């Protein structure tokens, strides 16, 4: 390892030279309290910024044992530290220093959700932050002095401000880990309580706007308050800020739950909070105690998507001209076929809780009312609406549904629980709904399709996942939260609404590549491939996603993505081949 003086000398020597001479600083350096690892140097001032790591040994960082006691607290501590590094960068780094990305210092810290990510790693012996740095230049000439200021002055101050426990607010740090641990504790206990979700009293669900994930200001937002009949209490491993050891709120039971009420009364806001409730939230978000089963999947209509060899016959029996739907493939699905495929795929990857909103569903997929049943004879209508499958999904396959529905009363016949939103306040309208269903029987005939025989597993074919592009063996990149470049293919993920962080999207891309190389043997089903991937990521962490990583190099910016989102991306890859395993 070289010294800090050696770095300074090199920077002075290359000052004013062509940008390529920055290669000379690619090395490891020992500073007073930490080591600096310059792993990758960008080719020009406009290229992807250079990748560096700063590592502080524990005898100096002094991260308390309490912050790394087990997986959940460790994840929370790492996430917290990444946010502290970002805050320190904002106060300390001068920012723009010349051409292109010159002067930028960036860490990939999170938003409102707390996710495992590569930005900060707490190892048994050290803590490390992974940064991106725009090495400064004027035109294409190296500005060695600016680089010296960034690497030898700003960076040490950032480290001292954010990675040394003594400099941090230890109460806040502990409260952060406590809160995340509490949320995970509730999530782990939902099932044994017969629940699929929990919304604490006092939770603030609405956001500032449709494009901001920040909470609506307290003065404007109506706090959540559980109806008495649905209220439950959880004991918590850590006390809440007010000292209480339990938390009280609404439990959403297993089965079919309808969220209903007038337009603009907060139905979709509640469902969106439940969608996000598969992830822990930061204290102060307002949704930190909105907790949903980890395997909840949002289902929507998504016309135009690709579907590959999916058995959607449970919902759509046949297509015009007798085309079969047991091995349904299309490059341009309709609203109803896409929504059917989304459900079948969610179940295939292991989900047992479906979240649907009438706003984003295909009407003909959700219901066919009495008059339409009279007009369109059953033999001309291939769709078995979700209404006629929801009960069976629950009783036969243990799959619960939470559905926002204000427009179709036929669902009152199948709902186990009805939550009525009235001016943003939930009421238990289950009994009332039953009374209405009895007084005003639906004229609709239940459609009696053959029972679903269970899923047909599919086997992904490794060769259909080609990440190469031009001369690049692996070209995987994100073009935005919902657009993943995989080799020569763009995977469109706008319909995958629980993908919420750019670094998750990136992780999805590399996870697909890793899975195709290691686990797609031609025998493993998609679900088994995702099992193997889960196991690998649990054992080795997200660093394993970097395909060309040497030693302990900066792995790139990744955040945890669930198997459901990885599976969703596989299913949307336009070249994908999945072979059905049929035994009939």
Contact set with Mg ion (CB under 5 A): 267-268, 359
Contact between 214 and ligand ADP (CB under 6 A)? no
Contact between 312 and ligand ADP (CB under 6 A)? no
Site string for ligand ADP, 220-239 (x = CB under 6 A): xxx-----------------
Q: Are 384 and 364 in contact (CB under 8 A)?
A: no
206 binds, among Mg ion, ligand ADP, none (CB under 5 to 8 A by kind): ligand ADP
Site string for ligand ADP, 400-429 (x = CB under 6 A): ---------------------x--x-----
Between the CA of residue 445 and those of 135, 365, 407, 415, 437, what are the distances in Å?
69, 16, 18, 17, 14
Contact between 165 and ligand ADP (CB under 6 A)? no
- Distance, CA of 498 to CA of 277 (rounded, Å): 10
Contact between 10 and ligand ADP (CB under 6 A)? no
* Cβ atoms < 10 Å from Cβ of 39: 19
Q: Interacting stretch for ligand ADP, rule CB under 6 A, among 82-90, 104-112, 217-225, 444-452? A: 217-225
CB nearer ligand ADP, residue 60 or residue 216: 216
CB nearer ligand ADP, residue 95 or residue 262: 262
294 binds, among Mg ion, ligand ADP, none (CB under 5 to 8 A by kind): none
Among 511, 531, 383, 353, CA closest to 457: 531
Q: Interacting stretch for ligand ADP, rule CB under 6 A, among 81-89, 213-221, 312-320, 393-401? A: 213-221
User: What one-character-per-residue DSSP string does 321-382 give?
Assistant: GGEESTTEEESS--HHHHHHHHHHHHHHTT--EEEEEGGGS-HHHH---HHHHHHS-GGG--
Contact between 264 and ligand ADP (CB under 6 A)? yes
- Distance, CA of 207 to CA of 272 (rounded, Å): 10
CB nearer Mg ion, residue 168 or residue 356: 356
Judged by CB under 6 A, which of 77, 118, 269, 516 binds ligand ADP?
269
Contact between 268 and ligand ADP (CB under 6 A)? yes
Contact between 205 and ligand ADP (CB under 6 A)? yes
Contact between 263 and ligand ADP (CB under 6 A)? yes
- Distance, CA of 85 to CA of 109 (rounded, Å): 8
Angle between helices 502-518 and 526-540 (to 10 degrees): 110
CB nearer ligand ADP, residue 38 or residue 221: 221
The distance of closest approach from Cβ of residue 198 to ligand ADP in the complex, given in angstroms and rounded to an integer, is 17
Q: Are 352 and 293 in contact (CB under 8 A)?
A: yes
Between the CA of residue 117 and those of 69, 241, 420, 542, what are the distances in Å?
18, 26, 38, 7
481 binds, among Mg ion, ligand ADP, none (CB under 5 to 8 A by kind): none
Which string of b and e fits 347-363 if b means at least 16 CB within 10 Å?
A: bbbbbbbbbbbbebbbe
Contact between 267 and ligand ADP (CB under 6 A)? yes
- Tokens for 321? 């001209």
The distance of closest approach from Cβ of residue 359 to Mg ion in the complex, given in angstroms and rounded to an integer, is 5
CB nearer ligand ADP, residue 182 or residue 268: 268
SS3 298: strand
Residue 401 parent element (H or E)? strand 400-404
Q: Are 341 and 328 in contact (CB under 8 A)?
A: yes
- The site for ligand ADP (CB under 6 A) is made up of 205-206, 216, 220-222, 261, 263-269, 421, 424
């Amino acid at each position: 390892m070289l010294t800090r003086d050696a770095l300074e000398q090199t920077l002075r020597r290359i000052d004013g030279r062509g940008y390529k001479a920055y290669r000379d600083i690619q090395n490891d350096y020992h500073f007073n309290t930490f080591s600096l690892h310059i792993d990758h140097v960008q080719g020009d001032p406009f290229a992807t910024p250079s990748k560096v790591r700063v590592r502080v040994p524990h005898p100096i960082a002094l991260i308390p044992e309490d912050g790394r006691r087990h997986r959940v607290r460790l994840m929370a501590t790492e996430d917290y530290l990444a946010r502290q590094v970002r805050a320190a960068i904002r106060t300390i780094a001068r920012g723009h220093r010349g051409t292109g990305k010159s002067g930028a210092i960036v860490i990939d810290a999170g938003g409102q959700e707390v996710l495992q990510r590569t930005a900060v790693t707490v190892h048994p012996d050290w803590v490390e932050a992974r940064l991106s740095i725009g090495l400064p230049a004027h035109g294409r000439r190296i500005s060695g002095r600016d680089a010296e200021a960034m690497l030898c002055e700003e960076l040490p101050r950032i480290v001292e401000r954010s990675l040394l426990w003594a400099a941090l607010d230890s109460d806040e740090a502990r409260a952060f880990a406590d809160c995340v641990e509490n949320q995970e504790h509730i999530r782990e206990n939902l099932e044994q309580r017969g629940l699929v979700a929990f919304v604490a009293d006092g939770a603030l669900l609405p956001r500032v706007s449709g494009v901001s994930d920040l909470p609506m200001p307290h003065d404007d937002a109506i706090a959540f308050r559980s109806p008495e009949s649905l209220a439950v209490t959880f004991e918590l491993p850590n006390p809440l800020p007010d000292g209480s050891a339990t938390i009280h709120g609404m439990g959403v039971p297993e089965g079919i739950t309808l969220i209903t009420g007038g337009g603009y009364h907060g139905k979709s806001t509640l469902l969106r909070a439940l969608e996000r409730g598969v992830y822990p939230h930061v204290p102060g978000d307002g949704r930190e105690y909105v907790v949903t089963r980890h395997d909840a999947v949002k289902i929507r209509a998504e016309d135009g998507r690709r579907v590959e060899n999916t058995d959607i016959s449970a919902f759509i029996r046949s297509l015009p001209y007798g085309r079969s739907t047991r091995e349904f493939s299309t490059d341009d699905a309709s609203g109803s076929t896409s929504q059917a495929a989304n459900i079948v795929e969610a179940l295939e990857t292991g989900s047992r809780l479906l979240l649907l909103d009438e706003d984003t569903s295909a009407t003909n997929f959700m219901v066919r009312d009495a008059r339409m049943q009279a007009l369109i004879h059953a033999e001309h209508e291939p769709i078995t609406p979700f209404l006629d499958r929801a009960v069976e999904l629950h009783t036969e396959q243990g799959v619960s549904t939470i559905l926002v529905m204000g427009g179709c009363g036929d669902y009152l016949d199948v709902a186990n629980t009805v939550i009525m939103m009235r001016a943003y306040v939930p009421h238990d309208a289950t009994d009332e709904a039953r009374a209405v269903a009895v007084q005003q029987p639906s004229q609709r005939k239940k459609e009696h399709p053959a029972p679903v025989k269970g899923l047909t597993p599919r086997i992904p074919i490794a060769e259909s996942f080609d990440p190469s592009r031009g001369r690049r063996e692996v070209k995987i990149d994100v073009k935005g939260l919902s657009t993943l470049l995989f080799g020569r293919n763009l995977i469109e993920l706008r319909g995958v609404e629980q993908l919420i962080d750019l670094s998750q999207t990136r992780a999805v891309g590399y996870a697909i590549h890793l899975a195709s190389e290691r686990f797609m043997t031609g025998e493993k089903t998609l679900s088994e491939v995702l099992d193997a991937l889960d196991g690998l990521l649990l054992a080795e962490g997200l660093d394993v996603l970097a395909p060309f990583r040497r030693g302990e190099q900066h792995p790139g910016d990744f955040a945890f993505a669930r198997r459901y989102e990885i599976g969703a991306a596989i299913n949307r890859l336009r070249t994908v081949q999945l072979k059905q395993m049929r035994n009939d």
